Structure 1
Amino acid sequence: MPRQSTEKQPHPSSQSLSLKKSWTLWEWWVGIMAIAQLIGLGIGFVASAITNSIGIEHAATVFHLVGLLEGIVLGVAQWLVLRRYVKRINAWVIVTAIAVMVAWLIGLKVSALMIFSIGLDPTLTTAMKTRALLQGVFFLGVWVGGVLGFAQWTVLKAHIHRAFLWIVANALAWALGLVVAFMMVGMTHTDQFNLETVLLGAATGLTTGAVVGAITGVALIWLLKPRLLRRN
């Protein structure tokens, strides 16, 4: 007579409820990331206009404020979702704001140097320059995501097992996100500020945020899986 297993199996309704909660979390995360990136892009546009009006000598101050504000927007947006699953993470907004500001400032200098050096290289064809810029943007995204992921890991590690994977997920997500942003920005056919650039800018911000949110959202669900099951 076959021996009956005494191992407790998850109830089907419990599994379906957990899956439903996972999808809900992922959808919220992707949506909030898209909105945060749209707002962040808007801050960047405003900062660019301010810099043009007050003079380039004040650009450093403006760029510091842009990085800080974008970090605060991103940190608050993510915290609004995370606080339902992870308690006592008030430091999340602070570390995110600081990390984004650091990544923004250094990344801005590196990207300017990269564009300058590649653009002035007479040995490169247009296709080679585009490919080189794409590679540069990808690794710039790895840097941005790595810095951000590491900063947020310092908060997550006290609450979540294997939180170091959050660093990897962010590095990959921001690398792909910035590549998408670079390709979409290249679709514009004018340098003037008009309806076309506004719509394309909004689409770029939303798409970039959605890409980053989709990848980090999967990682977040995997890291929070035990908590999602306990909430059933």
Structure 2
Amino acid sequence: MGHSTSALFLAQPGQRLAYRFCLQWIGGNILGFLISLYWLEVGERAALQGLEGAIGGTVIGLAQWLVLQRWCPQAGWWILSSTLCWTVLGASKLGALGWVVPQTHSDLLRLFYGLVDGMKMGAILGVSQWLVLRQCFADAKAWIFVSVLAWAIALGSGWVIGGWLHTITGLFLGEVIGLALVWLLMALMTGVGLAQLLRDAAIK
């Protein structure tokens, strides 16, 4: 990692900087998701294909890059990584899950498929993003585990809560709020993971 990045990190107390970074990362992800809804309509898996995945992945990748670029000079590849991954996901049986609502209304099935599909998606995104992060951080391998864990917990929780809100209100908006929660939880957990990478790099 470059001296300038380390200097930026060491110029501020670690905890305060980590807090600021996490807030920016969470805000960037939520904003990216909301902006993507201008072009994408939340729906069932079959309604979101490769093109929708490419659009969503580009918007999300750009939003994440805006936060990450300060700390990783090679982060421009993150946008390409995000676009390609979400395109492949959208074109596959797995689907562009960041914008997908499950057909089942069973809480147990939503939780189960959310955990399983989230792990698969987290692994795909995690490996691709690790290829970018390793250019900036020597200990970036842990990112794959962070991505798998974050997406599994976030997707399972968000799908269940979205189903509850849909049932209680009778409005499909409840499902959209559930997906927003998915992005919030994912961003919180991956933000903590990234902040740890940044702190470790600064110490070294």
Per-residue CA distance 1:84-127 (angstroms, 9 max, x = gap): 011122111001111122223321399xxxx78xx7xxxxxx9x
Q: Which amino acid aligns with 2:71?
A: Y
Per the alignment, residue 156 of structure 1 pairs with: 133
8 A Cα contact 2:159 2:179, kept in partner: no
Pairing 1:98–2:98 present = no
Q: TM-score, normalised by structure 1?
A: 0.69
Q: Which amino acid aligns with 1:211?
A: L
Equivalent residues in 2 for 1:1-232 (5 A)?
Answer: 17-41=13-37, 43-45=39-41, 63-106=49-92, 107-108=94-95, 130-187=107-164, 188-189=166-167, 196-198=171-173, 200-228=174-202
**Cα distance in 2 between the residues matched to 1:214 and 1:95:** 20
**Cα distance in 1 between the residues matched to 2:202 and 2:96:** 41
Gaps of 5+ in 1: 1-13, 49-55, 120-125
Q: 1:138 to 1:171 in 2, by over 3 A?
A: same
Aligned residues: 187
* Higher radius of gyration, 1 or 2: 1
User: Alignment partner of 2:118: what SS?
Assistant: helix
**Cα distance in 2 between the residues matched to 1:167 and 1:43:** 29
Per-residue CA distance 1:190-224 (angstroms, 9 max, x = gap): 998xxx433x3453233211100110011101111
**Cα distance in 2 between the residues matched to 1:43 and 1:134:** 28
Q: Which amino acid aligns with 2:185?
A: V
Q: Which amino acid aligns with 1:176?
A: I
Gaps of 5+ in 2: 1-9
8 A Cα contact 1:37 1:208, kept in partner: no
**Cα distance in 2 between the residues matched to 1:159 and 1:16:** 20
Report the CA distance between 1:141 and its aligned residue: 0.3
User: Alignment partner of 2:74: what SS?
Assistant: coil
Q: Which amino acid aligns with 2:155?
A: L
Q: 1:133 to 1:206 in 2, by over 3 A?
A: closer
User: Alignment partner of 2:31: what SS?
Assistant: helix
Q: TM-score, normalised by structure 2?
A: 0.78
Q: Which amino acid aligns with 1:25?
A: F
Q: Which runs of 4+ in 1 moved over 3 A?
A: 39-44, 189-192, 226-230
RMSD of Structure 2 on Structure 1 (CA): 3.0
